[in-house]
Structure formats: C-alpha cells, structure tokens
Structure 1
Amino acid sequence: MSLRVAVAAPFVQHGTDRLQENAVVVALSLDRDWFSPDQAKRLIDVATREGLVAREDGELVATFDPTDVRIPEEFTPDEDVLRERSAFERVLDALVAEGAEKHEAVGAINGLQGELGVTIEAAAVVYARRQGLDVDELVPVARSALIEER
C-alpha cells in the first residue's frame, strides 16, 4: 500500500517512530521530492484520519512499526494517496498487501455482499476478518454505513 510506504519513509529515514510534523513535511517534500509542502501536510491529515499516525504531545507517532515497511529504491507515491479512501478501498488495499489477488478479493467481497445483504464496506470487513486480517479500525465505518443504508 503506497500510503503506508509514503508515511513510513520519514520515520525510517530518521530511525524513529516519533517525529515533529515539520520533520515529516521536510522529509516528504525536500528530502525525497515526492510532494510539495502543502501536499505533505495533506498526506499527514489523510494518514491521521486513517489511523497510520497519531498526534501526541506536538509530535506525529507512527501507529505501526515503520521498520516493517519495505520502501523500494524506485518508489514514488502517486497523488492518489492524498485523497480519502472508502473503507472498502482500505480493506482491499490491506488484503492486497497481505498477498491476496485484487480481482479475487473483489469478487469474493461482492459475493459476500449479495449473500449477506449488506453494504460493500460491511462485506469487505467481514471478508477481511475471515481471512485473518485485523481491520478493527474499520468496523465503526462499516457499521455506520449499515445504519445509513436502512
């Protein structure tokens, strides 16, 4: 998942899981030349909403182990990482990151959606859990989508 890779890069670069926000912006915009400073700030906002980083005591703290993320030498994130993703997209990205074939996962989730009569978000969360994937942070989003559909 390129969002996780982009977020991990500054932490890996500095050898820590805690950084000042401006250090992250500098790492993403000046050091790596991946984003403008404004885009780097947007990436931080997206990463915060998606639970990849948390703001604590004026710092950004990675909520995952950045050293577990492989950053390919030729990696350059696309601007898609700057937009909010639906719970379905987030689950699908997590499944693919764990080795699932994207088209097979989409087909299975669609089948489960029809079988259970639920939203695509809820079906994605159920499918991911059945595959042994921890998607607890997306359960409230899926639950909310179910309630809104009624």
Structure 2
Amino acid sequence: MSLKTAVAAPFRQRGTDRMAESEFVVALSLDRNWFSPDQAKTLVDVATSEGLLEPEGDTLAVGFDASSTTIPDGFQPGEEILQSRSTFEQVLDAVVETGVEKQTAVADINKRQSELGVTLNAAAVVYARSEGVDVGGIAAEVREEL
C-alpha cells in the first residue's frame, strides 16, 4: 500500500519510530519532494485516521513496524493517498498486501457477506482474519458499527 510506504519512508530514513510532526512534513515535502507542505500535513491526518501514525503532542509515532516496510527504488506516491479510504478499502488493501489477489479477495468477501448476512465491512474483517491478516483497529470500529 503506498500510504503505508509513504509514511514509513521518513522513519526508515532516520532510523527511528518517533519524530516531530514538522520533521515528518519536511521529510516528505523538502527532502523527498513528494508533496507540498500542506499535502504532507494532509497525509498526517489521513495516516492518523487509519492508525498508521499516532500523535503524541508535537511528535508522531509510527503505528506499525516501519523498518520492515520495503520502499521500492523510484517509489513516488500519488496524490490519491491523500484521500481518506473507506473501511472496506483499508481492509482490502491490508489483505492484498499479504499477497492475495484483489479479485479473489473481493469475491470471497462478497461470498462471506452473503453467507453471514452482515455488512460488507464486517464480512471484510471476518475474511481478513481468516487469512491471518491483523486488522485489529479496524475490527473494533466495525464491531461498534454492528
């Protein structure tokens, strides 16, 4: 997922799991020239809402193991990652990231939804867990929706 990769890059570059928000914004906008400073701040908001970043005062902590995230050579995130994604999209991306084909995952999620008679988000979480994908934070949100 390119959002996770974009978030991981500054932390990997500095070899840390915490940094000032301003340092994170500079890393994305000036150091890497991926976004404008305003766009980098938007990325902070989106990544925070998805649990990838955890604000601690003026500091950001990465909410996953950034050191194990691969940043491909020539990686350049698109502006689409600056938009919030639905719960279903978040779960689907997490599943696809583990190597499951997107079409297969969508078909299996739809089948689960039909069989269980639950919302699409709930079916996605059940499917992700059956595939061994950790979607803990999202699962809690979906549980509250039910």
2:145 and 2:18 map into 1 onto residues whose CA distance is 33
Which structure 1 segments of 5+ residues have no match?
Answer: none
Superposed, which structure 2 residues align to 1:14-93 within 5 Å? 14-93=14-93
Residue type of the alignment partner of 2:51: G
* SS class of match (1:105): helix
Q: Provide TM-score, normalisation by structure 2.
A: 0.96
Aligned to 2:13: 13
Which has the higher mean CA deviation after the structures are superposed, 7-16 or 49-58?
49-58
Q: Which residue of 2 aligns with 1:98?
A: 98
Q: Deviations over 1:51-86 (max 9, x none)?
A: 111111421011111110000111111111111111
CA–CA separation in structure 2 for the residues paired with 1:106 and 1:25: 34
8 Å Cα contact 1:119-1:145 kept in structure 2: no
Correspondence for 1:139: 139
- Structure 1 runs, 4 residues or longer, greater than 4 Å off: none
Equivalent position amino acid for 2:134 in 1: D
CA-based RMSD: 1.0
Residue of structure 2 equivalent to 1:126: 126
* Distance of 1:16 and 1:35 partners within structure 2: 21
Task: Measure the CA separation in 2 of the matches of 1:107 and 1:79.
Answer: 28
